[in-house]
Chain A
Amino acid sequence: MIQGAVWKSVRQNPLTLFGGFVVLMLFVVALGAPYFPVHDPYSIDADAVLEAPGLGHPFGTDELGRDVFSRVIYGARISLWVGFVSVGIAIVIGIFLGAVAGYYGGWMDGLIMRFVDVMLCFPTFFLILAVIAFLEPNIATIMAIIGLTGWMGVCRLVRAEFLSLKERDFVQSARALGVGNLRIIVHHILPNSLTPVMVAAILGIAGAILTESALSFLGIGVQPPTPSWGNILTSGKDNLQIAWWLSLFPGLAILVTVLSYNLLGEGLRDALDPRLRGSR
């Protein structure tokens, strides 16, 4: 019944459907990239350097004569990876710390929440920059560091859910039956607190993709020749005066992707939260 209501609310919101559709298409593009009839994103062509968009190269070519269209398509793979893995890391940390803080309370709660305060008041982008530059800049480092600096929101959400759920009857009765703490946390409370986490995760993917593109743009993210939307924009900046197409297309890809994840996430949040339903 609840599922039906959620689906109805989603179906009535064209923006959510649009977001969901684009996200689905991005999966198809990212996973199917090697099977598409596009140019090899790595093949260098000295005769086709910085060609404007045309029939052979719909998005033009870069300073090494590589096809920008296929580089943008392969860039979708990177953003998909970064989005999912870094948010996955953030969720695992956030759920663990949030569950411990909310369930046990007391000094552990105090300690964890103070830590969250410190992390929240960091100029996060500064910290990410500092860490990545001291490490080897590559995709694994990026995913780890975006995840490690992005778990605080999830932690607060899970803690709040645990605080209210642990007083509920079904938890109390499980405890009365002698069920252990770990089992109560994992089997009884956690499944009931995952809905807001899922919404936060979808919105978090959008944020992670933006951060990755900014880092790659600064040259400390995904390293060339691996194509990512951010590092194609770096060559766009280097060839600013000659090749507008290097700047335009990868940025559009970021915009559409981030927009779609946000639309999907916010639509789901409205659909899952009955208090908001119908209010917009």
Chain B
Amino acid sequence: MVKRSIVLVALVLAALVVVTLPAQSQAPIKIGVIEPLSGPVAASGSYIRMGAEIARDWINAKGGISGRKVDLLIEDNKSDPKEAASAAEKLIVRDKVPAIMGAWGSSMTLAAMPKLEEYGVPMVVETSSAASITKRGNPWIFRISPPSEMEALGLEQYVDKLGIKRVDFLAVNTDWGRGSITAFGDMLKKKGAAVGVAEFMDQAATDMNAQITKIKATGGDTLFLTTAVEQITLVMKQAQEQRLGRKIVTTGGSSSPTQLIKQAGAAAEGSYHIVFFMPWFPEAMPDGRLAKAFVDEWAKRGHPFEGLTEGFRGHDGIATIAEAIRVAGKDEPAAIRDALWKVSLMGVNGPIKFAKDGPAGKESGQSKPSIFIVQIRDGKVALPDFLAKK
């Protein structure tokens, strides 16, 4: 029995070795991308992939980086940290990518981080919000998305204008949801608002009536909602069914107001959304021309408009890495890492420039992204009154 299985094991191993022998072409510059392309947040990962592909095609249309084309190697992390680590290993060792963009969720990013340190390859983090990512002393991490604390500070100036006095929280039970509650809770308390209940929902949950009923009983005026757009849709519909009657503010930039208007309809009316890109009025973005061009290109490719609020991250991440490679003058991991500290470019979101964060000597890079707030009014996305009047 043992003998026969030996043959089989040997065959399988041989097949594995043969099939995965490293590819030999050297000409294009490879950039690795790790995103959740299947599983519960597949939509977000796919949008980021689409944005990344636009950045790649734009760079290549302009002749590439120093005459070399850019090639994206895209891996699915299946929303599983183990897969994120495996994907990083595969991209670095087998495909020899000199830089990576990824990995959407914070736990996926955290799982891939030891691999970056082990092999010395930089990663640009495009979405993850956990503060700890840049605080761990991993000098290969460069984040262009805002951690929750930064997002909360971005909202601080509007708290009075939004008339927030008593808030409740409803968040997905992940690092992102819990981190948001802490960050926004601290900021709102500092601004003198009373904080009511903090409720959680499982990532896959579809019925949030229990949480809504409980929140309804607190008598607050505002509900902070942190989760992916699908669950936001469900919460809004169910809140309407229960006549919750709150001002709803979504955080994290993954709310896609356009999709909410389509899918939640009247239930989304009046809600506020923190976003990092405003495709409805690209001219209001820091670089209006770039934003407009991105929105047009997105439409030309037939991608759904509602994906833009997520898709821009993919563009900005790849643009950042490409700029670093141009500055470095070569596609070597350590050189790209050093160059990332020097880059200063305009992304769809706004200026990207890294400041040091984390323990001295092993700092990670953290950019300070632009943060915006929009409102759904009359079935359209608009700037809130207090901003539109200016």
Q: Are both chains from one complex? A: no
Binding site for A on B (CB under 8 A): none
Binding site for B on A (CB under 8 A): none
